[in-house]
């Protein structure tokens, strides 16, 4: 895996994650939530867990670059760089808040068409009194952002641990400790006292493991095995993972396997795959936050319109709104944060000039 430049494999991972989330939400929206005993919500949750691994790995690379630029001031640079993602995340969340606030529960809320208006026309009403299975995915796409922002606080310490670790097994042991702690937090006596954040720490730590291995492992597996592995993980998780139950616990293992395997794959060479995955990855956060809004407008507000009109509107919103948010909010906020970090680290790094002796 390349640290000096953006990894196309990580773009593929991020593109896969957003597609899993969007497919899940669309399936639930149109009432196709269950396939026999299997729940489509599981693949949506797995998509979010893929995001967690990706986020922690990418930010590890970012912290490394900040340390390299700051030199002796790397400690301050790490702290500043860890706060940069929060800047753009807060901006994104505020931007989408108005959109999400208008798609709340109710007759015209985020799932107004469940069991009522399918993608091509009316469908029968759901069974009276039936309730969906409890799952964090059901709370909408904003549920995961607080966990990411809280994780930013721990990334500097994790970065320092990863750079000083002698063997990968020590980081895997840390992951095991986090998993044990997460299980303990689910004990009835501790519920309500320990934040749910700890339940997702084992999903972020595999990104740290992948970062450690990336500089110590020579990639040798052909890229074609990477999408094959992702497909296998999705298929197995779809069968085994249960949202709100064993799904998150099994998700920890899936994330660890992904983190260990990532550095072993060669980078994708296909220019077409690289371009497509890069575009999807670039706007993926906007798609993640706003596809609910697109569903609501196209199939909620316009439920009485013809399908040939609703689908183009849905696709236009899924593409147009994320692009607009990226270029008007996300990218400018990232540039502002980068300038602030650059000024701060430059101020810390550059010593005061010593007075030169005057020649007589």
Domain edges within the chain: 8-124+138-345
Average pLDDT (323-345) is 82
Instruction: Using alpha carbons only, give the angle 99, 101, 103 rounded to the nearest 5 degrees.
Output: 80
pLDDT band at 242; cut points 50, 70, 90? confident
DSSP string, 132-156: PPP-GGGG-GGGGHHHHHHHHTTHH
221 bridge partner residues: 265
pLDDT band at 84; cut points 50, 70, 90? low
pLDDT band at 129; cut points 50, 70, 90? very low
User: What confidence score (pLDDT) does residue 357 get?
Assistant: 41
Q: Which of 74-78, 125-129, 181-185 is predicted most confidently?
A: 181-185
Torsion sign (Cα): 109, 20, 177, 62: negative
Which of these, 78, 258, 98, lies nearest to 158 by C-alpha position?
78
User: What confidence score (pLDDT) does residue 243 get?
Assistant: 65
**283 against 184, higher pLDDT:** 283
pLDDT at 307 over 80: yes
Count of beta carbons in the 10 Å neighbourhood of residue 201: 24
User: What confidence score (pLDDT) does residue 85 get?
Assistant: 53
pLDDT at 83 over 60: no
User: What confidence score (pLDDT) does residue 52 get?
Assistant: 95
Instruction: Report how far residue 150's alpha carbon sits from residue 197's, in angstroms, rounded to the nearest whole number.
Output: 8
pLDDT band at 97; cut points 50, 70, 90? very low
Contact 105, 139 (CB under 8 A): no
pLDDT band at 51; cut points 50, 70, 90? very high
User: What confidence score (pLDDT) does residue 96 get?
Assistant: 45
Contact 42, 238 (CB under 8 A): yes
Residue that is written with structure tokens 């979010």 in the block: 48
Average pLDDT (296-302) is 90
Average pLDDT (50-71) is 86
Residue 76 backbone zone (phi > 0: left; psi -120 to 50: alpha; other: beta): alpha
- For 17, 149, 186, the CA distances from 189, given in Å and listed in that order, are 34, 27, 8
pLDDT at 82 over 60: no
3-state class of 272 per DSSP?
helix
How far is CA 72 from its chain centroid? 32
pLDDT band at 135; cut points 50, 70, 90? very low
Instruction: Report how far residue 65's alpha carbon sits from residue 48's, in angstroms, rounded to the nearest whole number.
Output: 26
Instruction: Report how far residue 262's alpha carbon sits from residue 159's, in angstroms, rounded to the nearest whole number.
Output: 18
User: What confidence score (pLDDT) does residue 64 get?
Assistant: 87
pLDDT band at 349; cut points 50, 70, 90? low
- For 142, 184, 194, 241, 251, the CA distances from 188, given in Å and listed in that order, are 26, 9, 11, 22, 21
Contact 12, 20 (CB under 8 A): no
Q: Which of 143-157, 200-214, 303-317 bottoms out in mean pLDDT, i.e. has the lowest?
A: 143-157
DSSP string, 151-196: HHTTHHHHHHHHHH-S-HHHHHHHHHHHHHHHHHHTSTTTTTTS-G
Give the contacts of 138 (CB within 8 A, at least 6 positions apart).
28, 41, 132
User: What confidence score (pLDDT) does residue 54 get?
Assistant: 95
Burial call 282-294: b when 16+ CB within 10 Å, e when fewer: bbbbbbbbbbbbb
Residue 181 backbone zone (phi > 0: left; psi -120 to 50: alpha; other: beta): alpha
**83 against 167, higher pLDDT:** 167
Residue 82, classified by CB atoms within 10 Å of its CB into exposed (0-12), middle (13-18) or buried (19+), is: buried
Q: Which of 3-17, 117-131, 214-228, 331-345 bottoms out in mean pLDDT, i.e. has the lowest?
A: 117-131
């Amino acid at each position: 895996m390349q640290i000096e430049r953006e990894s196309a494999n990580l773009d593929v991972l991020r593109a896969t994650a957003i597609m899993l989330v969007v497919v899940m939400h669309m399936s639930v929206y149109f009432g196709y939530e269950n396939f026999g005993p299997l729940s489509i919500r599981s693949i949506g949750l797995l998509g979010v867990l893929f995001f967690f691994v990706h986020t922690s790995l990418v930010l590890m690379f970012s912290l490394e670059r900040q340390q390299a630029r700051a030199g002796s001031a790397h400690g301050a640079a790490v702290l500043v760089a860890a706060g940069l993602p929060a800047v753009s995340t807060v901006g994104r969340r505020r931007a989408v808040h108005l959109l999400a606030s208008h798609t709340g529960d109710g007759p015209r809320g985020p799932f107004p068409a469940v069991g009522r208006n399918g993608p091509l026309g009316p469908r029968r009403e759901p069974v009276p009194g039936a309730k969906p299975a409890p799952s964090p995915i059901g709370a909408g796409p904003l549920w995961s952002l607080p966990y990411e922002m809280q994780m930013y606080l721990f990334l500097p310490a994790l970065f320092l641990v990863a750079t000083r670790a002698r063997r990968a097994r020590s980081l895997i042991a840390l992951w095991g400790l986090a998993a044990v702690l997460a299980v303990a937090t689910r004990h009835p006596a501790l519920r309500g006292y320990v934040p749910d954040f700890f339940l997702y720490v084992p999903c972020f730590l595999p990104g740290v493991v992948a970062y450690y291995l990336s500089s110590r492992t020579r990639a040798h597996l052909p890229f074609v095995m990477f999408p094959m592995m992702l497909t296998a993980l999705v298929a197995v998780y779809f069968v085994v993972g249960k949202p709100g139950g064993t799904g998150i616990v099994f998700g920890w293992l899936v994330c660890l396997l992904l983190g260990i395997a990532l550095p072993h794959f060669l980078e994708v060479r296909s220019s077409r795959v690289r371009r497509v995955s890069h575009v999807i990855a670039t706007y993926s956060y906007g798609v993640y936050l706003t596809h609910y809004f697109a569903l609501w407008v196209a199939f909620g507000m316009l439920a009485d319109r013809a399908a040939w009109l609703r689908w183009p509107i849905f696709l236009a919103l899924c593409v147009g709104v994320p692009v607009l948010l990226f270029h008007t909010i996300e990218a400018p906020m990232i540039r502002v944060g980068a300038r602030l970090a650059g000024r701060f680290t430059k101020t810390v790094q550059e010593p005061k000039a010593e007075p030169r002796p005057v020649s007589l």
